[in-house]
């Protein structure tokens, strides 16, 4: 449906009421999510169970009527599909086997060989494309190559992405090979999501902010541009959102350089700044501080209105500046949505 509000915003239309969804909107802050995850047994089992993954994707749509649903999955399923070991430590997050050498890189699967492992994810997309309300946009996603590479090189999340930066400095050829493989595999993965029914694609570069200078151009901008160009060649007109989190000044011109239809903005920059410097190139998504979903009250109402006002002169998709946190109050989410829609 071309009249879906998010698709209209992504085409560059400034709407009187911005469409709204939240990063990590299907997550631990919802009691119904926790119940479904318990049914699945563990996080990866939930990701790979199409019926349950579709269910948790649908839960926030039923509760809040968001304008978009984003596929429930994880950015590290792709390196697992490339042949890496992946598991989650309770209370500590993901763990991966590592790749730091030419031999380790050579041992990974080819980009086109990921689909068997990821077939359950595509089935989740097919279920959602049938079951979502007709007015709700279905967003597929993947992690950007730099962000995924930081986990593959370190074997876990790190505060400063130090191991990836070190490999980039000491063995740039191997590092670039990892980025190239991930870029091609991401194209394959996202294209298959579109074939299964995803209407919009989002590329999450959660650690883009730690890339500086030419490295930002080489490993955040260039891979995103390659992915977007390849997807557009296969799926003409496909809308794409890019999120180079904490890019700061790097947000300026990011849409022009990569071809993204929309740039998602984190809350380390102000909405007024982003309206002046980023929205001039098209749609902006963001950027309410996720802490308001915990604290609520009049501060939440005011901050929500401030974001809507700042971006009211152009195309805007309302979202948080990062994912909603597990300690958020579901009632605060309802208050945010009500504030946006009642003006």
Active-site residue set:
24, 28, 37, 74, 151
Reference 230, options 197, 198, 189; nearest CA is 189
Query: How far is C-alpha 4 from the geometric centre of its chain's CA atoms?
Result: 20
Contact 307, 275 (CB under 8 A): no
C-alpha 262/C-alpha 282 separation (Å) is 6
DSSP string, 169-188: HH-HHHHHHHHHHHHHHHHH
DSSP string, 78-137: HHHHTT--EEEETTTEEEE----SHHHHHTSPPGGG-HHHHHHHHHHHHHHHHHS-TTPE
Reference 159, options 171, 149, 148, 150; nearest CA is 150
User: Treating both helix axes as pointing N-terminal to C-terminal, what angle do 31-40 and 50-64 enclose, rounded to 10 degrees?
Assistant: 170
Gyration radius of the chain over CA positions: 19
Contact 339, 307 (CB under 8 A): no
Angle at 178 between CA 173 and CA 183, to 5 degrees: 120
C-alpha 199/C-alpha 206 separation (Å) is 22
Query: In 3-state terms, what secondary structure has residue 215?
Result: helix
């Amino acid at each position: 449906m071309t009249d879906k509000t998010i698709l209209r915003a992504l085409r560059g239309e400034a709407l009187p009421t911005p469409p709204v969804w939240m990063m990590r909107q299907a997550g631990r802050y919802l009691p119904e999510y926790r119940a479904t995850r318990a049914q699945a047994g563990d996080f990866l089992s939930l990701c790979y169970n199409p019926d349950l993954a579709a269910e948790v994707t649908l839960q926030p749509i039923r509760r809040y009527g968001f304008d978009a649903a984003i596929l429930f999955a994880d950015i590290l399923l792709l390196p697992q599909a490339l042949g890496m070991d992946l598991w989650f430590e309770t209370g500590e997050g993901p763990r991966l086997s590592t790749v730091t050498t030419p031999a380790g890189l050579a041992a990974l699967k080819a980009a086109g060989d990921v689909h068997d492992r990821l077939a359950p994810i595509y089935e989740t997309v097919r279920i959602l494309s049938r079951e979502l309300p007709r007015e709700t946009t279905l967003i597929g996603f993947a992690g950007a190559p730099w962000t995924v590479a930081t986990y593959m090189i370190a074997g876990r999340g790190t505060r400063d992405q130090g191991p990836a930066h070190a490999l980039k400095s000491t063995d740039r050829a191997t590092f670039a090979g990892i980025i190239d493989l991930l870029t091609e595999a991401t194209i394959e993965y996202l294209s298959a999501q579109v074939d299964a029914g995803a209407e919009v694609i989002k590329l999450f570069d959660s650690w883009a902010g730690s890339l500086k200078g030419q490295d930002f151009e080489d490993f955040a901008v260039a891979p995103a541009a390659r992915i977007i160009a390849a997807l557009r060649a296969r799926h003409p007109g496909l809308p794409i959102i890019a999120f180079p989190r904490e890019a700061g000044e790097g947000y300026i011109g990011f849409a022009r350089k990569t071809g993204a239809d929309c740039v998602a903005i984190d809350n380390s920059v102000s909405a007024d700044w982003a309206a002046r410097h980023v929205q001039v190139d098209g749609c902006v998504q963001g950027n309410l501080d996720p802490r308001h979903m915990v604290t609520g009250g009049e501060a939440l109402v005011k901050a929500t209105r401030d974001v809507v006002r700042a971006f009211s002169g152009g195309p805007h998709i309302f979202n948080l500046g990062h994912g909603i946190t597990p300690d958020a109050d579901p009632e605060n989410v309802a208050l945010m949505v009500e504030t946006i829609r009642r003006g």
